[in-house]
Structure formats: structure tokens, C-alpha cells
Structure 1
Amino acid sequence: MRNLKRWQRTLIIAFALLIVIPIVGFIVLGLMPVPSDTVLPDDQIIVGAQGKPGAVGGIDTNFPKVNALDATDAQRDLGKMLFFDPILSQNHAMACASCHQPPNGLSDGRAVGEGINGVALKRNVPSLYEVAYKSSLMWDGRADTLEAQITIPMTSADEMANTPEQIVKDLQGVDAYKELFAKAFPDAKEAITFENVGMSLAAFERSLLAHNSPFDKYAAGDFSALTPSQRRGFALFRSGATSCYKCHMAPTFTNGKYEVTGVPDANGNMTDEGRGGITKVATEQYAFIVPSLRNVALTAPYMHNGRFATLDEVLDFYIKGGGEGMKIDVPTQSRFVHAFEVSAQEKQDMVNFLYALTDESATPTTPSSVPSGLTVPTHDLSPAFETAKQINAGGVAVTQRAPMTLTVTPDVTIQSVVDTAIAGDTIEIQYGTYNERVLIDQDNITVRGIPNDKGEYPILDGKMQFSDGISASGNNFLIEKLAVKNYKGNGIIIDGVTGVIVRDIYVENTSLYGIYPVHSTDVLVERVEATKIRDAGVYAGQCRKVVLRNNKVYGNVIGIEIENSIDSDLYDNHAYENSTGIFVDLLPQLPSKVSLQTRVHENVIENNNFTNFANAGEIGQLVPEGTGILILGGDDVEIYNNTIRENRTVGVAIFSTATAFKPELIDIGPNPERIHIHDNTYTHNGYDAAKQLTDLGLTGKDVIWDVSNWDMRIDEPNATSFPPILPASSWPDLSRKAYWQIVHFIVTKLG
């Protein structure tokens, strides 16, 4: 009897342990830390139009903060004297201004710099304009402050070849410098120090700003500041076809990053490792800092090695596709450097625009003498100054009249009428076929096609000879009732605009996007029919407050895409026979680092099994054929009340951006977070999964989640899925976290 009771107690304890231990373990798992992407503060979120009120076309005119504390006028004045004084060099014959020459745009007009005693240096002398905003100095970024950078040439054996001790000794021997240093640093125990030399030079160099160019006047609302050619050139410069603006964006015209463009040396090879020589990171081999383009017309020759003598040569290099276009093996070439086509006139328009970044008023005057009494370096004025004056002198005065309706007839070009428009005009296009590219930069413009008696829209046909059909950058832009087809870039691109309406458009056969609002705010795209697009039929990128509704998209790589945007509604669309129906993504290496608050609802997404025919190197290549909806890294996404059927790979897929890009390229929080999927209708999805999925050991399903983040609520009890059990809204956070710990371990460690 005692043995029986003992066995009973043992069984009760064992049974209790079998229940208690898993429960306790589950609770422990739920309390364990779970990964979460970094939340960006609001002041670091760059989404939507960035222009100040009154700025033209959403151009960002908000200059960043200067990279140091405020300096005094006395320090700047001292710095200017030191800048022009050869006393800082070992042989007292070379000053900072010997290389950074005011008459040559603060460069020296040579392919590579010339050091002490005529020694040829390794790289081109960079201009000093806009260094106030830089946090990476030198072509390879070896210095992170201007003060640190300044010490390098003074002490380099090939440049000024001096020592800190000798510089201080020489300055202490000049009475005038004793007075200037005492005035600049009145509280210093020792005013003349090597550190204070650097601080003074930095204070002066931070004053070298060029913010009064014709472009700046145009950006502030003066349309007469640029010539028609320069306005067209700027539109091309910021277009998706050229991608110049991806790295050289306003207001500084640099993104401050390192890029690999594939510029060869004189022998056609790449031997200078650039940033990679400093970091030893493979992806940074041959990468160089993106220079500011302000006053670029004054600083020939160009690139880190002075390879190109003119701006025409630079453009030719990029038109051909950078180093890859020159048949050089550049495995890490920037994805923004790709071949594109422009006419001879369009190329000249772009060159003319670059001259519009010239601000001659910012050129520092050369002093007649310096405190040391040594010879001040002087140089002849570059002919580029006179060329800039001539090119920038042709601005056309804006007509003063009330807004009106302008009519385009088939015997004239649309652009010729657009060029006569002012803010507030309506441009009506009579039925016909127009073979051109149209650039619009005025605010408050309406472009309206007038259908024929059969209801057919006027046709804008690029015949695959132009990059974009219509490129618009003016605020409050409305376009409707046009057919746009056969362009090498985009059908319609709207960049940096507040207030966008695109409706009743047919777009066909473009090599990038059909309808493409980007960097814009308050966007409405409705009743668009898009087909045969090599990327997305309708694409909103880096926008804020977006509505995409009642669109019909078919026969594209991607039907509709919402990328790196905030507050977007996609509803009542019909996406069918694309490779992927709807794509919600957060991509790296873009100014916008977030994708938030996207709602996808009341859409019909069916039979998206079309062969992926995206161009090589484009993001569209990522999407698997047979996908209804793909979330790649997007956060705060709600997908509900959609009809999702006959997509052979998957109905809805949720994946981390990290699955599609190399780790060194990920500069965003890659994991999808706060996803809610509910009340959708699924029919016959996942019956023949694409290779991208089967290579992962997966089969097709209605819903697939890659378990990259725990914060999912998937309320689809009747859907087939991977994992077989999905976390639902009824689960408490602790349960969802614990479940994620289990399935994440299984998938990543055992799978």
C-alpha cells in the first residue's frame, strides 16, 4: 500500500513536471529579448517633398548644419592669411592657395596635384567649396573633421613637407602673427599652437560657400534665373533615367557617401583602391567620396585622378555606364551608375545646367601681401569663369499675365507649348501622336489630353528613343487622359512635388516604371492602366500620403509598388498577370530609411504568374514569379479584404530585406515589423512555387512568413501557410514572442 501511494505521488509529480516545465519554458522564451529594428527619430526621416515653402518643384533648399562650432571673425581672418601664406611649407614657397587656387574654383587646373618641389601627387586636388558640410574629407575619407584634414598636407613629405614644431616656430618669429593669434585666441595660454593653426584654417575654409548661383535663384522661385536649356538639363539631371540626383542631390549636390563609379587611370586600369585602401572592406575597393558639384564648371579636370578634361567627357563616361561601360571589371560599381541615352542637345542641356551651379561671388580675394612677407601665390583666371558668365546670361524673363488654357495641336510639340506656360496654366493636348520627351517645372500646372470622338487619348510615343515621357517637378501637378508608351525610362515621373494627381492614363512598354511619383507628398494615382512595364506599372517611391486606387495593372514585372514611403493606401486595384501583383518594400541605399503605415485593401490580385522580364541589375529582378503580395522589410503594413487567387508561388509573402541584399549594403532596419494580415479571401495559391522559394526548401502557400521578426498578427485561419501555425491577434505578446523564439530557432538553426 505504501508502495502504491509512493508511485501515485511519483506519477503526480512527473505529470506536473511534464505540464509545468513546458509552460515555464514557454514563459521564459516569451520574456527573452527579441530583436527590434532601430527607430529613427523624426528629424532623420527623409520622406516626401523636402522643399521649403516657395521653393520650386520641391527642391530641397535646406542646407545641413555646419560641421563645427561657430568660429569668430578674428579666427576666419587669421585663417585667410595662413591660407595664402607660404610660411606653412618647409621651403616657404608653397601655400594652401598654391593648390586650392581661387581663380580655378579652389582647385589647381591639373589632373593631379603638385607638391613641394614639383612632386606629382596621387590624386586630383578637390575644391574647397562646401567643405563646411562635410564629415568625410579627402577622396578616401581618411579624415573625419576639417581640422584633422588640414594637418595632412602641411605635414605630408610630398606636399608641404613641414612639421608642427617648425610651423609654430616660424609663426612665432613674425610679430604680425603674434598679434593675429592673440586676437583670434584671447583666452589661450599659448595662442600660437599647431592646433590653433588648424582651427583658424578650418574657420576660413568653412566660409567658402557658393549659395548664390543661378540655380539657387531659380530654386527660390525666379524662373528667369535659368535658361530654358538649363531648366531642361536640370530635369534630366534629376530624372530616374540618368540617376545623377541619386548621388548629387540639392542643396549641396553630394550625398556625402562613397561610391564606386569605375573611373580608370590613364592606362585604362583601376589601381587606386580609394576608400578600400583605408577600410580594407571589399565592397569599398575603388570607392571615392561623392564631391559637391557647386562651382564644378570651374574645377576641371575631373574625377579623383583628373581623368576627364571637360564636363562633356564626364557625361560621356556616365552615359556609357561608368567603368562597366568601358569594359572594365567593376564588381562593386554603384547601382546608380548605369548606361542611359540622351540626344546631343540633351547632353548640352545637362552641361549648361552644371554651369548654373556657379557662384562667382563666393571666390575669395587674394591678399596683396601676407604677414610673413613671403610671396603670395597668384594664378591666372580660368577661362571657365567667362564661359560660365556667357552660359548663365541667357535667362528668359517670365511672362506677366493671368493663368490661361494653352492648346497643343498635332503640328507642334508639347514642349514648345509647355515652355510658354506660367504657374496656374492648363495645357490641353489635342488628339494625335507626339514623339518627344516633355519636361515641366512650373507649379500649379494641369496637363489634359482631349480624347477623339471614339474616346481615345492623345498618344505620347517615345519610340524607345527617349528616357522619360513626361518629367514634372512643379507643385500641384495634375495630368490626365493621355496614352504614354515606348520609353526607355519611365512613362511619367513626378519628382519632389507636393500635390500630385495622375488619373485616366494608359501607359505601355517602358523600361523602368509606368507612373512614378518619387520624393513627393500628397499623391493620388487613379484609373491608370499599365502594361508591359519592365519594373512596376505604378510605383510610388519615398513619398508621403499616397493613394493608389482603381488602377488596372497587368503584364508587368510588378503591378504596383510602394517603396520607402509613409502613410499609403492601395485599394480597389486589379493586379493580374504580372510577375508580382503588389510589392511593399523597404530598400537600402536610399535617402528614405523607412517604410511605414501602408494599407492594402479591397484589391483583386490574381494570376500573377507572368515571366519576370526585368532589366539586369534592376530591383524588379528580386521578385519571384507567381506572387500575389510581397512585403520586403516594410513596417506597419495592414493587408485586408483582398481577393487573392491563382498566384502559383504564394498569395502573401512577408520577408526581411536582408534576404535580398548583402549585409554591407543594409543601412535600414531590414525586418518587417507590426504586420497585420486579416480577412482576405484565398483561392488556389502556391500550387507551383518559383525556384527562389523551392531553393529555400519551401513549397507554395497562401501565406509565407520568413520568421525574421516576432511582431506579426496573421488572422487567416483558413489559409495554407508556412509556418503551419501563424501568430494571431488573439495571442498575447508573450505568446507571440515565445512562438517566434521557437520557430526562428528551427528555421535558422535546424532548417
Structure 2
Amino acid sequence: MRTPLFLTIAATTALAACNTGPKTDANGFVIDADFEKKLQQQLLDAGPGTVITIPAGKYALSRSLSLTSNGVTVRGAGMDKTILSFAHQTSGAEGMLVTGDDFTLQDLALEDSKGDALKINGTTNAVMRRVRAEWTGGAKTSNGAYGLYPVQVTNVLIEGSVVKGASDAGIYVGQSTNIVVRGNRAEGNVAGIEIENSSHADVYDNTTTGNTGGILVFNMPNLPVPGSKTRVFKNIVKANNHANFGAAGSAVSSVPPGSGIIVNSNDDVEIFANDIADNKTANVIISSYYSTGFDTKKGIAAAYDPYPENIYVTGNDFSGGGTDPGTKYAPLKALAGGQLPAVLWDGFRNPKVASPGICVQNGDAKLLNADGPNKFAHARIDPDVNCAPATRLPGVTLPASMTKDRGTP
């Protein structure tokens, strides 16, 4: 095994003695082609055990960064101290693209990338720790779709990070397995946190506020793998009432503003011990593919299951919410006495299954069955919460090497 190599990249090494210094843009970011070239070269030369340390500073980059090697750590001096800006980006689809296994990124910020801030694709053991991904101009459809975006990854840890302004999802984990998303803050995105077509995920101790939807657990059609077995617990999910600024035709553009937690077409999901409040459409929405309004021109594969089943809601602290449902669910407001209850279920169920297992055992929290198949004709507060003795999902365990902090700033 190679001895870890600690590489510090100093943007001003050769220029510090010069009176002129490197150029800066209007926001104070250093524009230094030599720094950018050296950083990308370090990523190209990196091998197992390499640690690349980027010092505090505000650096403007013009190209995507990429890493293909295994066993590499890239770290800064803190998410508000080491800032990589892609506002001047002229090439590349992401801020940073990683295809190497055993990767850690921590203690830095990625701002204003042309596309996704960080994409990790097809790897094993991916860690994002204390990373900030942000589009600083606020909510815009032209912002990148995803902030932190591991896809087709086995073993994912995202912790202590902050994501703002993504036009799809701030934190998005797709087609992956064995996932922990904890202690993060997602604000001002369309979806704060999204677990899509992924299995064995623990989402806890996060704060989602000011998004269109707080936490989404989705299963979309025509993807290589389905998802199930997600636990959403001990999160703060408050006032996710932002207007939806997702791209027209995207799946996330169908998310109603004011959605706290949404489970769509996913099975075996537990929602417990969360603080869920003031999400104006509903604090929890359980829905099928048929309620998304998302249409695929490819059709739907025969193996796709569009129905949510075995959803367990228990021990949450609900308050407010349901006071101003969007156009889609507005007709239900009067039926519910002016405020939708804590949990809204669209009512679509698989006719081949005896019970969908939509279980709400949460104090006085009520379940509204919207009767979506009949356009709300028989919507009702459902006294039959379809509960059976629950076999609780086990927690996710990650390799010990992933939970070791790779140095603090």
C-alpha cells in the first residue's frame, strides 16, 4: 500500500512575491490558470492513499474537475474557507466528476457550477463530509440540477453538508445501496433530499426547510434498479413552501410546493421521530406514480411497481401544515375542514394486493385517503390505517473506513 501523500496546493506559491498578485473577479475569487492546472494535475496523478489539501481561499475555475483514481481524499480548510467557484465555467458538465472508489471530499464549497456540483458515478465507498454546494444567485431553473449526486454507488455517506439552490435536488442519491445521509442542511432547493431507486438508506438528523419538498423517497420507472427499505427519522422538516422552479417535464417539477416528506411508488419505508411542521400542502404525502403528472414517452416497463406499499408512520411530532394545498389537492381542503391532516395518501392501490400497508400509528395524526382513482369523489379520513404488526427495518452499517474523519480544518 502506498504511504499517504499529503499535497498542498497553494494558488499563490509563485506569485506571492509579485506586487501585482493574481487576478480576482468582482466577487473576490482568484482567477489563476496555474492554480487550476496544478489542481487538475494533482487529481490526474493521484493514487491510492493520496490526500490533496486545498488551502483556504476563494478560487475561480473555468473547467470541471475530474478524478478516476481509487482511494483519494480531497479536503479543504472548511466549507466557508475553501471555496471553488464555477461561475466562470466554460467547459464540463459538472463542477466535479468522480469515478474512483474509496473517495472522500470534505471541508470545502462548490459554488455556481454549470451543471451538478458534485457527481460520483458507479463507485464503491463515497464520502461527502462538511461540503457546501450552492448556487449563490438564488432559486433559478438554470441552476444545476443536483448538489451532491452519488449515482450507482455502493456505500454512501453524506454528513454535515449544506446544499442550496439546486433546480432538482440538493442531495440526491440514485440507484445506490447502503446509504447514510445525516446531519445535513438543505435549503432553497426544489427537493431538499431525495432518495431515488435506492435501497437500504438511513436519512436522519437533517434539516430541510425552504425547499419545494423537504425529503423525497421516490421510485421512478425505466431505471435499472428499483428502490426500497428507507428509514427517515429524527429530521427537522419545516416550511418547505418554496415555489417549484424545476425544469418543465422533469419528475421533480410535479412536486407540490408545501410538501414535507413524500413517498412515491416506493415500498418498505419508515417515517418516525421527525419534527414535521408548516408544510402548506401536507406534512407527509404518500403517492403512486399515477399522481405525479410525470409522463414518460418510453412507456413504463412491465416490471415497474407504481404503488407505495408498507409505509409506516409513527412517533413523529406534527404541527401546522395542510393549510394551503396547491391546485391539485385544493378540493380536499374543504372536506378536511380547512386543513389537510398530517398524512395524505392518494388512494391508488394495487388491486392484486390485499392491503397496501399504509400504516399511521402516530398519536392523533390522521390519514386522508384522497381516492385519487375516482378524482377525489370518495375522499375520506380513513379509519382503516391498514396496520399490521410491523417488522422494523434494520439500520444501515457502513464500512468503518468510511466513518473515519480524514482530518479537521
- Give the TM-score, by structure 2 length: 0.76
Are 2:307 and 1:671 aligned?
yes
Q: 639, 643, 653: which is aligned to 2:285? A: 653
Alpha-carbon distance change, 695 to 488 in structure 1, aligned in 2, over 3 angstroms: farther
**CA distance, structure 2, for counterparts of residue 681 and residue 401 of structure 1:** 50
Corresponding residue for residue 458 of structure 1: 82
Match of 2:276 in 1: 644
2:315–2:363 contact (8 Å) kept in structure 1: no
Q: Aligned-pair distance for 1:618? A: 2.2
Instruction: Tell me how far apart the structure 1 counterparts of residues 112 and 50 of structure 2 sit (CA, whole Å).
Output: 27
Note the C-alpha offset of 1:535: 1.1
Offset of residue 570 of structure 1: 0.3
Number of the residue aligned with 2:384: 727
CA distance in 1, matches of 2:387, 2:306: 26
**How far apart are 1:584 and its partner, in Å?**
0.3
* Structure 1 or 2: more strand by fraction: 2
8 Å Cα contact 2:360/2:367 also seen in 1: no
Cα pair 1:410 1:434 within 8 Å, conserved: no
2:251 alignment counterpart: 619
Give the secondary structure class of the aligned counterpart of 1:665.
coil
Is the CA contact (8 Å cut-off) linking 1:686 and 1:702 kept in structure 2? yes
Q: Indicate whether 1:427 and 2:36 are aligned.
A: no
Q: 2:68 touches 2:99 (CA, 8 Å); kept in 1? A: yes
Q: Is the CA contact (8 Å cut-off) linking 1:407 and 1:417 kept in structure 2?
A: no
Q: How far apart, CA to CA, are the structure 1 residues paired with 2:9 and 2:329?
A: 51
Change (3 A) 1:537 1:544: same
In structure 2, give the amino acid aligned to 1:693: Y
> Structure 1: how far apart are the matches of 2:257 and 2:330?
12
1:513 & 1:448 partners in 2: Cα distance?
20
8 Å CA contact 2:324–2:330 kept in 1: the answer is no
Matched residues in 2 for 1:730 and 1:634: separation? Answer: 17
| Partner secondary structure for residue 309 of structure 2 | coil
User: Residues of 1 paired with 2:307 and 2:299: CA distance?
Assistant: 14
Secondary structure (helix, strand or coil) at the match of 1:467 reads strand
- The alpha carbon displacement at 1:488 in A equals 2.2
Instruction: Mark the CA change 1:637 to 1:705 in structure 2 (over 3 Å): closer, same or farther.
Output: same
Name the amino acid aligned to 1:687. Answer: T
Q: Residue type of the partner of 2:315?
A: D
C-alpha distance in 2, partners of 1:654/1:705? 5
Within a 5 Å distance, the mapping from 1:557-596 to structure 2 comes to 557-592=190-225, 594-596=226-228
Deviation at 1:450, TM superposition (A): 2.4
Name which of structure 1's ranges 516-525 and 720-729 shifts more when overlaid on structure 2: 720-729
Deviations 1:686-712 (A, max 9, x none): 001011222678763311112223222
Whichever residue aligns with residue 448 of structure 1, its letter is R
Q: How many pairs align? A: 330
Distance 1:462 1:712, change over 3 A: same
Distance 1:648 1:422 in 2: 49
The residue that corresponds to 2:94 in the other structure is 468
Which amino acid is 2:256 matched to?
Answer: P
Deviation sequence 1:598-619 (CA, Å, 0-9, x none): 0000001000001111122322
Q: Give the share of equivalent positions with the same residue, in percent.
A: 34
SS of the residue corresponding to residue 621 of structure 1 reads helix
Correspondent of 1:537 among 158, 170, 193: 170
Task: Give the match for residue 155 of structure 2.
Answer: 522
**SS of residue paired to 1:658:** helix
More RCO (CA 8 Å, sep 6+): 1
Q: Secondary structure at the match of 1:475?
A: coil
The 3 A distance-change label for structure 1 pair 726 and 473 is farther
User: Hey, what does 2:402 align to over in structure 1?
Assistant: none
Residues 400-421 of structure 1 show CA distances to partners (whole Å, capped at 9, x for unaligned) of 9754112222251221221222
Equivalents in 2 of 1:613, 1:485: separation in Å? 19
CA contact (8 A) 2:280 2:322 kept: yes
Q: Does 1:406 align with 2:7?
A: yes
Shift of 1:470: 1.1
As a proportion of its length, which structure holds more helix? 1
- The secondary structure found in structure 1 opposite 2:75 is strand
Matched letter for residue 569 of structure 1: D
> Could you state the TM-score of these two structures normalised by the residue count of structure 1?
0.42
Please name the residue that 1:705 is paired with: 345
User: Does residue 715 of structure 1 match 2:361?
Assistant: yes
Alignment RMSD (CA, Å): 2.2
Aligned counterpart, 1:505: 131
Q: What amino acid is the match of 1:444?
A: G
- Pick aligned residue for 1:601 from 219, 233, 242: 233
**SS in structure 1 of the partner of residue 93 of structure 2:** coil
Q: 2:116 aligns with which of 490, 499, 523?
A: 490
Q: Is the 8 A contact 1:563 1:584 kept in 2?
A: yes
Q: Distance in 1 between matches of 2:2 and 2:202?
A: 39
- How far, CA to CA, are the matches of 1:484 and 1:543 in structure 2? 23
What is the match of residue 443 of structure 1?
70
- State the distance in 1 between where 2:240 and 2:198 align: 24
Amino acid at match of 1:708: F
Q: Contact (CA 8 Å) 1:539, 1:560: kept in 2 or not?
A: yes
* Alpha-carbon separation, structure 1, partners of 2:384 and 2:114: 44
Bigger Rg, which one: 1
Q: Match of 1:683? A: 319
Q: Is the 8 A contact 1:608 1:625 kept in 2?
A: yes
> Is residue 211–residue 242 contact of structure 2 (8 Å, CA) maintained in 1?
yes
Contact 2:342–2:366 (CA under 8 A) maintained in structure 1: yes
Q: For the residues of structure 1 that align with 2:233 and 2:100, how far apart are their CA atoms?
A: 31
> Aligned equivalents of 1:676 and 1:541: distance in 2?
22
Instruction: For residue 650 of structure 1, report the CA deviation from its aligned partner.
Output: 0.2
